[in-house]
Amino acid sequence: MKLPLPLPLLALAAAVLLPGTASGPRADRAPPRVVGASVQRRYVSGGRAAARLRGRADEPIDVPLSNQKVLYSIEIEVGNPPQRMEVQLDTGSSDALLNTDRSALCTGRDNACAATGTYNANASSTSRYVNSRFNISYVDSSGAAGDFVTDDVRLLGRLVPGVQLGVAYNSSTPQSVLGIGLTSNEAGDAGARRGGDEYANLPARMADDGVIASNAYSLWLNDLGAANGSILFGGVDAARFRAPLVRLPLQPVAGRFTEFYVTLTGLAVAGNDTADGLAQAASAAFLPSSFAMGAVMLGAAAFMDWRGGLKTSRAVFCFAAAAVLGWPFAAALCAPFLLEELVLAAFSDKEARIQSALRLGRGVVAGLLLLLFDFLINLFFYKRAVVVTWNIVRYNIFSSTGGPGLYGTEPWHFYFRNLALNFNLWFVLALLALPLFLVQKLSGRGSQPGLPLRTLVFVAPFYMWLAIFTAQPHKEERFMYPVYPFLVLNGSISLHMLLSAIGSSDPNALVARVPARLRLLAVGLVLFLSLDVGLARIYGVYTAYRAPMAIYKPLWGGDEGGGAVGGPEDLVCFGKEWYRFPSSYFLPRDMHAKFVRSEFRGLLPGEFSEARTGFGFWSGTWLPTSGLNDGNREDPGKYVDLRACSLLVDTQYPDRTEPLPPAEPDYVADSETWEVVKCEPFLDAASTHVLARTLWLPDLALVPVRLRRRWGRHCLLKRRTTAN
């Protein structure tokens, strides 16, 4: 990592603290850049060497590190006779994971562990069995299980006898790991993190045996382009930084000191301070239905715009983009426009038909090229040939075992109620577009040449889409997104025809007897009322259901009254509220959303693997995810034990008196186990009058009691620390 500034060298010093210690020496005050550093270092004896080290008097153990870009590894020897291994150095865990030549991973055809070596406890005369409770998992979703043993470990010839090690007979990572974190973070079914006994891991054992004078170490990771760095056990190498060391307090994780976790409020680079962006995680969400809506709108606009000639190629490409990159069923909306194109070509001369075919062909070719591009992108990320568009169509239409109906069905009038709620008067106008057009034609008005066909083409997509999806048993609001532009278009056409009729100056028309100003006032009031109802609906939904978007601020330290709640590797758990979790982007990077058992017995969302392996950017896109099925069948592997949850999200409804299901207790009321971090009002829809559910009504005394909204509490809870 080079920086064209004369910045001090980085010395990342992390103290491995004894139980009960809340802080330790760190050397992270210098900017995280190094220049011109020699990888291989020698330490000379004498006063100057001693002056460079803090908190120790004898010689440290300086071990070279190999830069693997995404990990740093060191070589150790284990057992007698010595078995040489390359292990990943990990400050985020506290156990030594040693792959064994007896595991399925290491004995497979690809010999995955050959590059880093394996450990055979039976071949070592100094190994001693401890128990079979070794069980560890990492944030990249890899993990291992097996036995705890003790054996001798050598670092650069320094013998450390009787170090407790985890032998991975079942492993999903070919890389052995040397965890050098706090002993309070040790794994295993009875490990320290689960309330069991702590043991002295490698750094603690070296300090106990006097191999090093203090239970501390410092890391120097060197330049990104360098092959080596170093770790210094037993002290801090002051030659690697210029600013003075400052002791920073560690922050507790779930009430315990298990991580090297400090509060960072700002950075200073070359004298420029900043505190912005230190705790931000944001991403634009790609919603296929919403994207399809935008692409369909552009395609329809291209079909409608005849200025300067027909734009069929552009229109077909936009609809292809909606289908390939968004939602494949959205392509059906172009059918009326293509039918219009074919009718026009059928009644034209040969040259016009050829031009029509060429325009259509260019659009189809562009769409196929887009499909090819999508196929290649998917091939790169999935590592197999996949046509996602076809998979969606096949599952929803041609599936014999699954199908969307497994995820719930709704009555035929679902979309009529939903669209009336969301569009009120505009939905009514959209439904009236075709009847009003027919009435206008039958009355002999508006008979411009070619206009009837064009108007029918414009209004047809909305009716076609509504009819198709009303006939489907499985219904969701998002299925209407692609047709929203046509709903608004139909409403506009109806409004135009109504205004033309209301504004008629024909003396024989009944409406002409009403003063023009009164007609204008009536139209304005209706439109204003529609606007008010729409705003009341929007604000009502926002105030009623915004809680899931607001309760996660304390995880970032965004609320008043203290720092961030929780810490790296904490689990934020969801029971009956699993479907209200907005996105993992609402959690800090190293926190994970997990599910605990509730009354729901369907298939819960899965997780992408966070492992970094193989060729490509994100191996989680192609590594298989266990437990998925197309039958909406429950996968018990999606659940975690409630005791593993540091944080929990739950909703409490005080106005409800019926008994709660056994799997969905009132966690908010369990104050002995859970502490309320943040609660936000959440509408109790079951106890609220339908009018108050539909529109925003102020919570004022003038509103009748039966029309007032009833509230629950959507809460983020933190597990209380159990006194030892």
Torsion of CA 331, 334, 339, 345, to 10 degrees: -110
Q: Give the residue with greater pLDDT, 689 vs 443.
A: 689
Cα–Cα distance between 703 and 691 in angstroms, integer?
12
Q: What pLDDT is stored for residue 433 in this prediction?
A: 95
> Which range, of 135-139, 564-568, 627-631, 700-704, averages the lowest pLDDT?
135-139
- Looking at every residue in the chain, the average pLDDT score rounds to 80
For residues 623-631, give the mean pLDDT. Answer: 80
> Which range, of 21-30, 94-103, 226-235, 582-591, averages the lowest pLDDT?
21-30
Question: Quick one: pLDDT band at residue 327, thresholds 50, 70, 90?
Answer: very high
% of the chain residues with pLDDT over 70:
79
Structure tokens at 92: 């985020």
Q: What pLDDT is stored for residue 615 in this prediction?
A: 61
Of 270-274, 545-549, 553-557, where does the model show the most confidence? 545-549
For residues 317-346, give the mean pLDDT. Answer: 94
Q: What pLDDT is stored for residue 295 in this prediction?
A: 95
Q: What pLDDT is stored for residue 622 in this prediction?
A: 81
Q: What pLDDT is stored for residue 192 in this prediction?
A: 46
For residues 673-695, give the mean pLDDT. Answer: 94
Residues 6+ apart with CB under 8 A from 301: none
Q: Is domain 35-233 in CATH 2.60.120.10, yes or no?
A: no
Query: Furthest-apart CA pair in the chain: how many Å?
Result: 114
For residues 682-701, give the mean pLDDT. Answer: 92
**Whether pLDDT at 407 is above 90:** no
**Whether pLDDT at 197 is above 90:** no
Q: What pLDDT is stored for residue 103 in this prediction?
A: 86
Cα–Cα distance between 190 and 132 in angstroms, integer?
10
Q: What pLDDT is stored for residue 559 in this prediction?
A: 61
**Whether pLDDT at 66 is above 60:** no
Q: What pLDDT is stored for residue 425 in this prediction?
A: 93
For residues 427-444, give the mean pLDDT. Answer: 90
Q: Do 11 and 235 contact (CB within 8 A), yes or no?
A: no
For residues 125-146, give the mean pLDDT. Answer: 84
Cα–Cα distance between 528 and 617 in angstroms, integer?
52
Structure tokens at 304: 């409608």
**Whether pLDDT at 428 is above 90:** yes
> Which range, of 285-289, 653-657, 670-674, averages the lowest pLDDT?
285-289
**Whether pLDDT at 296 is above 50:** yes
Question: Quick one: pLDDT band at residue 363, thresholds 50, 70, 90?
Answer: very high
Q: What pLDDT is stored for residue 52 in this prediction?
A: 28
Question: Quick one: pLDDT band at residue 17, thresholds 50, 70, 90?
Answer: very low
Quick: pLDDT tens for 269-285.
554 544 444 434 444 55
Is the preceding omega at residue 81 within 30 degrees of 0, hence cis?
yes
Q: What pLDDT is stored for residue 27 in this prediction?
A: 37
**Whether pLDDT at 8 is above 70:** no
Q: What pLDDT is stored for residue 112 in this prediction?
A: 80
Q: Give the residue with greater pLDDT, 388 vs 112.
A: 388
Question: Quick one: pLDDT band at residue 569, thresholds 50, 70, 90?
Answer: confident
Domain residue spans of the chain: 35-233, 280-516, 550-600+638-719
Quick: pLDDT tens for 114-128.
888 999 999 999 999
For residues 493-504, give the mean pLDDT. Answer: 87
Question: Quick one: pLDDT band at residue 309, thresholds 50, 70, 90?
Answer: confident
Residues 238-249 as b or e (16 or more Cβ within 10 Å = b): bbbbeeebeebe
DSSP H or E segment with residue 390: helix 388-393
Q: Give the residue with greater pLDDT, 232 vs 560.
A: 232
The angle at the Cα of 717, spanning 712 to 723, to the nearest 5 degrees, equals 140
The CB density around residue 133, as the number of other CB atoms within 10 Å, is 17
Q: What pLDDT is stored for residue 250 in this prediction?
A: 76
Q: What pLDDT is stored for residue 337 in this prediction?
A: 95
Q: Report if pTM > 0.75.
A: no
Q: What pLDDT is stored for residue 213 in this prediction?
A: 79
**Whether pLDDT at 585 is above 50:** yes
Cα–Cα distance between 331 and 335 in angstroms, integer?
8
For residues 278-304, give the mean pLDDT. Answer: 77
Residues 6+ apart with CB under 8 A from 83: 77, 117, 118, 119, 120, 123, 124
Q: Give the residue with greater pLDDT, 189 vs 419.
A: 419
**Whether pLDDT at 188 is above 80:** no
**Whether pLDDT at 7 is above 50:** no
Place of tokens 């915004």: 546
Q: What pLDDT is stored for residue 494 in this prediction?
A: 93
Residues 619-649 as b or e (16 or more Cβ within 10 Å = b): bbebbeeeeeeeeeebeeebbeebeebbbbb
Q: Give the residue with greater pLDDT, 266 vs 577.
A: 577
Cα–Cα distance between 541 and 522 in angstroms, integer?
29
For residues 713-718, give the mean pLDDT. Answer: 96
For residues 350-375, give the mean pLDDT. Answer: 94
For residues 487-507, give the mean pLDDT. Answer: 87
**Whether pLDDT at 55 is above 50:** no
Rg (CA), the chain: 33
